[in-house]
Amino acid sequence: MFTRRRCLTAAAALVGGTMGSVPGAEPSDDALPFLADVQTPPAIPTDDWPPSLLGRADGAPIATLEQWLAERKRICAAWLDFLGPWEVAAPGNQHRLLAEEQATGCRRRLIRYATEFDEEVDAWLLLPTDEAARPERGWPGAVVFHSTTDQTIDEPAGTDPSDAVAIGSWLCKRGFVVLCPRCHLWNTTPAHHLDLPGAVARLAARHPGARGMRKLLHDGIRAVDMLQSIDEVDPTAIVAAGHSLGAKEALYLAAFDDRVTGAVFSEGGIGLSFSNWHDPWYLGDAIRDPAFRLDHAQLLALTLPRGMLILGGEAGPGAADGDRSWGHVARALEVGRLERPRPRLGLFNHRGGHAIPPAARERLLDWLVGGAGGAGG
């Protein structure tokens, strides 16, 4: 169970040391030779900048790492309060094998496990085929979330050879054990068709007061629980990634679960106005209130020192990130530099629209291999 109390306890532990004291939080920078490139501002400045994080709510400046860590605790608690109450006990990590098949470079297992005591979800579990190459501590693990598609888990698992966002399949071929869980928005009908009104109503009935992202965060945390329970996985090397809807899930998971040692956010719309964050299955209309004071630069800062790479496509149908995303990254970098000269955070604007073109694919894979301590492939 992930609660406000757990968040405060984790933040208190950080205050006693440094940001780098999070278990598994020091993957090698040698695996990220392009870090300077993704921390270079766009040639033409943008005005999509959230407020600075180097000031407390009372107006006092933040100039030291210790001051930021205290503010980090407040931000974490404020976001969890906004996401709503959640007191759901973890139902255990048992899973059932539904099917198994071989694919090029990986074994695919269709499994089913519980996200709540009375709710189950299907997921593809991908394992590398070369057992001789398995590291002594186990393969690094990755949770990969799918986009808004009725292919759901087949998309990241690469069951369609023409799929251009098969992140899970790519990672498996680089030496990761990958879990691709189905989002609960497709879990209200037997045929797993998208049912947004049904999913929203079901969440409201089961968890009054909880916003949609609170459920998505819970399910992401359960995916990490499940992945860590797999014998072949190194439980200290877990990364997360997603495209579009899946990017939104990866952001919140990386921000609030420090077991995630690196993450990629592909075309999810990092600014609250960049995408449909106001929809009830995400955050709701409250974020449009002029008095709303939370923003996603804060969540990017919560991912540090583990960090996140944002992939943006700039323009075209569905494109949500690009140069306009820089202000959010820059604000989080200001905080990260209190701890280290070059924080593990950046923006790669591939300008390829709402997709993951080859250049972005390579950056994604290199980033996540680095996030897993260079253990993959």
Question: What distance in Å separates the CA atoms of residue 9 and residue 210, rounded to the nearest whole number?
Answer: 22
Question: In the 8-state DSSP scheme, what is residue 8?
Answer: H
Indicate the length of the chain as a whole number: 377
Give the residue, 376 or 151, on which the prediction is more confident. Answer: 151
Name the fold adopted by 4-88+97-371.
Rossmann fold (3.40.50)
Tens of pLDDT, residue by residue over 269-294, are 999 999 999 999 999 999 999 999 99
Q: Is the C-alpha dihedral spanning 173, 309, 266, 111 positive or negative?
A: positive
Question: What distance in Å separates the CA atoms of residue 15 and residue 34, rounded to the nearest whole number?
Answer: 30
Tens of pLDDT, residue by residue over 46-101, are 889 999 999 998 889 999 999 999 999 999 999 999 999 999 988 999 999 999 99
Question: What distance in Å separates the CA atoms of residue 345 and residue 293, rounded to the nearest whole number?
Answer: 23
Give the residue, 104 or 315, on which the prediction is more confident. Answer: 315
Does residue 302 surpass a pLDDT of 50? Answer: yes
Across the range 92-115, mean pLDDT stands at 94
Burial profile 106-133: b = 16 or more Cβ within 10 angstroms, e = fewer: bebbbbebbbbeebebbbbbbbbeeeee
What confidence score (pLDDT) does residue 13 get?
Answer: 42
Tens of pLDDT, residue by residue over 249-261, are 999 999 999 999 9
- At 203, the pLDDT band (50, 70, 90 cuts) reads very high
Cα-trace Rg, the chain: 19
List the domain boundaries for the chain: 4-88+97-371
Burial profile 265-289: b = 16 or more Cβ within 10 angstroms, e = fewer: bbbbbbbbebbebeebbbbbeebee
Tens of pLDDT, residue by residue over 319-336, are 999 999 999 999 999 999
Do the beta carbons of residue 286 and residue 280 sit within 8 Å?
Answer: no
